[in-house]
Amino acid sequence: MAAAGSYDVAILGGGPAGSATALALKRRDSALRVALIEKTDYSARRIGETLPPPAERLLTELGIWDAFRRRSLLESFGTRAAWGSARFHEQEFIYSPCGRGWHLDRRDFDALLVGEAERAGVAVLRKTLYQAEFDTGDFRARFVVDATGRRSAFARARGARHLVFDQLVGVVVFLRTGAADTYTSVEACEHGWWYTATLPKGELAAVLMTDATQLRHVPWRTLAQWFELAASAPYTASRVAEAIPLGEPSLYSASSRRLDAGVGHGWLAVGDAACTVDPLSSQGIMKALRSGITASLAICQHIAGSSQALAAYGARLPKDYEHYLDRRAAYYAMEQRWPDSPFWRSRHELVSSPRRNAHAVHVEDQHQKESDATGACHL
């Protein structure tokens, strides 16, 4: 740990969940001494490209809507999905009270959030590694927030374990494109489903979502193999056909998982550190922002002397996750075109199995399991 100081709250991780927690804490109690510790400088590319219309309310609640609106934004006016049939169905954001969403450069968005937290009085330590203890040496914190993403580094160091509900991964290629399609698209295929979204600066993200075990049997590592996989999804194939790849395919984990305990003595987890959701939900960033706002209330109540605040926060996490699993199972059940596909068989079992918890597995590091299945390193 490079910086010294004594803080009420130390937040590990400067993604949307960590920054939202910091911003919400300072809005609830400006006198709180809050440190946010981020191991990067936001120069590397980050995954997660679309912000739906309801995000305006959350950004307003965090006090940063005007700062976000002043950015050079690429608006998104709807989503389209070929799901259950080859025909696309469109959902236009015009029917939302906000009227539009946004395509994001996540590096820029995450840097904006942490910059606004810094302006609000949060001590931001960039390019700083986390440490295991916060009550020794020159750096002290009364309370710690684990916002380290899906690895849940701090929580797991304190004995929390992951419950893993699938092995979903994404094979992503970023491309340069001249097209100005404002829609985010999802297209089901035999091996899983494709996600494509326009990005700022004339770029396109295209991702095959499938199971890690599937990639043992499907060539995907080279651009030629990736484009061949895309050919099984006609709309996706046409969208990437004239685009220029900016690099080779990369693999990242997208599995649904949650901690068996999202709170502990002097700490709680937020965002992906607490639980992750299928990208099909399009709720990743929204979930992170909401999680930070909710956590800030529990932390302030705990610091004020409440003996129940952390327990209530921790009890809410598995209940909310059960609702998510129900919605996920219902949506995957809508696609029945490939009954013999291992990917789709596993998704349909989510509906037919009377004991859904049979799909949850305790692991020390599911990233390693997925890496073993694919023979690749994850982002």
Tens-place pLDDT, residues 178-206: 877 778 899 999 999 999 988 888 889 99
pLDDT of residue 376: 35
Residue 90 has pLDDT above 90, yes or no: no
Q: What is the pTM (predicted TM-score) of this model? A: 0.90
What the block records as the tokens of 336 is: 């029945």
pLDDT of residue 374: 41
Residue 267 has pLDDT above 70, yes or no: yes
Residue 306 has pLDDT above 80, yes or no: yes
pLDDT of residue 11: 97
DSSP 8-state symbol, 181? -
Residue count (the chain) = 379
CATH of 5-73+103-163+257-317, one of 3.50.50.60, 3.30.9.10, 3.30.1450.10, 3.20.20.70: 3.50.50.60
Residue that has been written with the tokens 């995907």 in this structure: 220
Q: Confidence band (pLDDT; 50, 70, 90) for 52? A: confident
The residue ranking higher by pLDDT, 346 or 100, is 346
Residue range 278-305, pLDDT digits in tens: 999 878 899 999 999 999 999 999 999 9
Write b or e for each residue in 158-170: b if 16 or more Cβ atoms lie within 10 A of its Cβ, otherwise e.
eebebbbbbbbbb
Q: Which of 116, 132, 140 is nearest to 35 (CA)?
A: 140
Domains in the chain: boundaries:
5-73+103-163+257-317
Which residues contact residue 47 at a Cβ distance below 8 angstroms, ignoring those fewer than 6 apart?
A: 106, 170, 172, 252, 379
Q: Is the dihedral of CA 262, 283, 82, 253 positive or negative?
A: negative
